[in-house]
Structures are given as structure tokens and as C-alpha cells.
Amino acid sequence: MQKFALSLATATMLIGAAATSMAADGRDYISVVGSSTVYPFSTAVAEQFGKATKFKTPKIESTGTGGGIKLFCSGSGVDTPDIANASRQIKKAEIETCAKNGVTEIVEVKVGYDGIVLANSKKSEQFKLSRKDLFMALAKEVPSPEGGDKLVANPYKTWKEVNDKLPAAKIEVLGPPPTSGTRDAFVEMVMDHGCTAFESIKALKSKDEKQFKAVCQTVREDGAFIEAGENDNLIVQKLEANPNSLGIFGFSFLDQNADKIQASSIDGQAPTFETIADGKYPVSRPLFIYVKKAHVGVIPGIAEYLAEFTSERAWSEEGYLAEKGLIPSPKNERKTIAADAKALNVIVNNKF
């Protein structure tokens, strides 16, 4: 018994000693953090990169855009990430935080686009929506239906009440929670735009920006909009089970489930590979990766990883990322971006 206790104690001490001696002292793999939307693409590149080159496969964490950039900006050194994935552009405040922590040279690479779609089950009617319809159906407060500028709590119960041309189905939309980048993008691109269809709210924009945002971006909380969690697969499954509801999620999930769900057109444009790529479909956003220039050459393989990401066999229309659902940038744009990435041109802060 005593021997047993003794050996356990030794083991404990050994682990303690190992733990203190192992403090991060060099890393031979690339560390990537950030958006869960970019995750499926950067993992595909990482895997390809790991198999095709002599470098180790990069480690990719799915932390969300905000959390990823926060980690990325926490300092310069091997214990901080080399690359941040983002489903939106980096903010000025974030660049400032970065600079304060010694991360002054950041390379921005726009890797492509992602479309956000509204879809419902194949079992029910396909929707033809406008962004105004969506604002009226989903905002917490809308201009009173009786006319006038007064805002009232959203009275609409069915799509037909919103717009005569829509089916008489109950308004029920499954979407991501506010922590999600998809939700941010949806609110900015759909709700903000939809609410400017009302003159009274549009006037507010120049007068009181804060109030304007509050009116446009607040989503109703009376059960018509259901926060279904970050998992897009779950939303697809729920749409199948409940043909009356609409769901909001990324384009790649539509692409994979075209036999079960159909996308609604928005402002007359159906979300397809082509309409998102040429910018006709209104609800699409660029995806970025941010690279710490100071780490290039310190951590092995960063330049090569960037080269793989920006190679035609990865990010073009025929590339393996398109197969995963990434919408490529136009060809000319790709050329410039790839050249910028190769030259490691850093963001100039006064651009913002």
C-alpha cells in the first residue's frame, strides 16, 4: 500500500515537472483560429497542405470570428496563433488592439464569398421574398400597418399579412443566435437594407444612427424567430420535420441538401453558385484570413500554406474549395489577391 502511494506521488510530481518544463518553447506546426464559417475551407486546405508538403498539418480551431481575432491579437510569439479566419473584415478597434499588443503587420487575404440563404422544406411552397418583407416579418418593431410613422410591436402573424403575394403560412423562421457571425451578416445585409424601404426609418439614419440600428437590427422575440443554435445541420433537419418554417444558414448546407430543401429567392434572385459569385444575390459576404507577418519564416510553412490557399486548384471555380461550398472571387480579383498574399502586403490602418 505504501509503495503504491509512493509511486503515485512520484508520478504526480513527474507530471508537474514535465508540465513546467514544457512551457511552449517552439512550435513546428501552423496554428489557425477563428470563424466557424471559414473552418470547413481552411481545414480542407490544411489537410491538402499537410499531405502534399513536408510540413505538419496546421491545427485549426473553430472559435468564432471575434474570439479568433482576439486570440490572434493577443501578442506576437510562438504561443499565439499565426492565422485568424474571419467571416467579416477585421474592425478598426481590433487592429488597434493588435497594434497595442505588438501585432503591427497583418496580411489580409480575401479567400472568397459565402452566401446566406433562407430555405424551407421541399414539401411546401417556395418563397419569393424581398428584404422589405423579411424586415417586416422579423423586426421587433415595425411601422404601424394603419399608416403613419409610429412604430408598433410587430403585429404580423402570417406571410400573407406582410405581402399579399406570399403564402398564408405562419411566420416561423429558424436562425442562428446573436453570437454567430451568420446572424450578424444576416442582420446587416437583410434587415438594415429592408428597413430603409420605409421613408421614416431611412430619415432616422442620418439623424440618429444608434436609434436607426436599434430599430433595424432588433429581431422579434415573440416566437416568430426561433434561435436554433449554431449548428446548421440541425436547422436543416428541423426544416424537414416542420415544412411550415423557414431557416437561415450558409450556402454550403443548401448545396449539400438540395434534395430536401429549397431556397427562397431574395429580391428576385435565387441563391446559386453563379448569382453569389457575381454579386447579384444580395445576401453574401466575403471571407477573410489574416496572417501575422512577423510569424512568416519563424513558424515553418506559413508562406506555403498561403500559397496553397490562394492556388487555383484550391480556390477557383474548379477547385476543391468550391466543392466544399466556397464561392470563388472573380478571376481578376483572385490574381491580385494571390499576388498581394505572396508579397505579404500588410493592411494599412488608415484605410479604415
Partner 1 sequence: MSENHQISTMDRVSVGLAARYRKERRFRLFGISAIVASLLFLALLLASITAKGYTAFRQTEVLLDVYLDPAVLDVHNLATANYAALVRDAALALFSQVESRQDKRIIGKLISTGAAYRLQDLVTSKPELIGSTRPIWVPADDEVDMFVKGHIPRDVPEAERRVSDKQASWIDQLVAADRLKLKFNTAFFQAGDSREPELAGIRGAAAGSMFTLAITLLLSFPVGVAAAVYLEEFAPKNRWTDLIEVNINNLAAIPSIVFGLLGLAVFLNFMNLPRSASLVGGLVLTLMTLPTIIIASRASLKSVPPSIREAALGVGASKMQTISHHILPLAMPGMMTGAIIGMARALGETAPLLMIGMVAFIVDVPNSFSDPATVLPVQIFLWADSPERAFVERTSAAIMILLLLLLAMNAAAVFLRNKFERRW
Contact set with partner 1 (CB under 8 A): 1-2, 5, 8-9, 11-12, 15, 18-20, 22-24, 27, 29, 31, 33, 36, 39-40, 43-44, 46-47, 50-51, 56-57, 59-63, 79, 230-233, 250, 252-253, 255-259, 324-325
- For residue 231, the minimal CB distance to partner 1 (Å) is 5
Beta carbon nearer to partner 1, 89 or 316: 316
Residue 163 C-beta: closest distance to partner 1, Å: 27
Give which of 264, 249, 261, 274 is closest to 181, Cα–Cα.
Answer: 249
Distance in Å, CB of 89 to partner 1, minimum = 23
Q: Which is nearer to partner 1, 133 or 232 (CB)?
A: 232
The answer to whether the beta carbons of residues 254 and 307 sit under 8 Å apart is no
From CA 18, how far away is CA 15, in angstroms rounded?
A: 5
Residue 30: name the closest of 307, 337, 315 by CA: 307
C-beta closer to partner 1: residue 216 or 235: 235
* Of residues 204 and 302, the one with the C-beta less far from partner 1: 302
CB of 129 to partner 1, least distance (A): 21
CB of 236 to partner 1, least distance (A): 9
Nearest to 115 by CA among 44, 186, 209, 12: 186
Q: For Cα atoms 93, 95, 99, give the angle at the middle one, nearest 5 degrees.
A: 115
**Shortest separation between residue 47's beta carbon and partner 1, angstroms:** 5
Nearer to partner 1, 2 or 206 (CB): 2
154 vs 275 by CB, closer to partner 1? 275
Query: Going by C-beta distance under 8 Å and a sequence separation of 6 or more, which residues neighbour residue 24?
Result: 78, 79
Q: How far apart are CA 152 and CA 81, in angstroms?
A: 47
Closer to partner 1 by Cβ: residue 36 or 196: 36
- Cα–Cα dist 21/24, whole Å: 9
CB 328 within 8 A of CB 319: yes
Residue 78 CB, shortest distance to partner 1, in Å, is 9
Q: Which ranges constitute the DSSP H helices of 167-301?
A: 181-186, 192-195, 199-207, 209-217, 232-241, 251-256, 273-277
